[in-house]
Amino acid sequence: MRELTNLTDEPIQEHTILFEESEVLLTIRFFPKTEIWCFDAEYKGKAVYGLKLSVGVLHMVGQNQPFDFIVSDNSNNGVDPFKRDDFSSGRCSLFILDADEMISIRNGAEVPL
> What range does the domain containing 64 cover?
2-106
Candidate from 3-12, 33-42, 57-66 with smallest mean pLDDT? 57-66
| Mean pLDDT value across the chain | 92
Reported as a single tens digit per residue, the pLDDT across 53-94 is 999 988 887 788 999 999 999 999 999 999 999 999 999 999
Residue 66 forms part of a structural domain: yes
Cα–Cα distance list, 6 to 20, 31, 73, 76 (Å)? 20, 19, 17, 21
How much is the pLDDT for 83?
97
C-alpha to C-alpha distance for 85 and 1, rounded to whole angstroms: 22
Number of domains present in the structure of the chain: 1
Residue 49 forms part of a structural domain: yes
Hey, how many other C-beta atoms are within 10 angstroms of the C-beta on 77? 8
Identify the CA nearest to 40 among candidates 55, 57, 53. 53
Cα–Cα distance list, 82 to 28, 88, 90, 94 (Å)? 13, 12, 13, 14
How much is the pLDDT for 60?
86
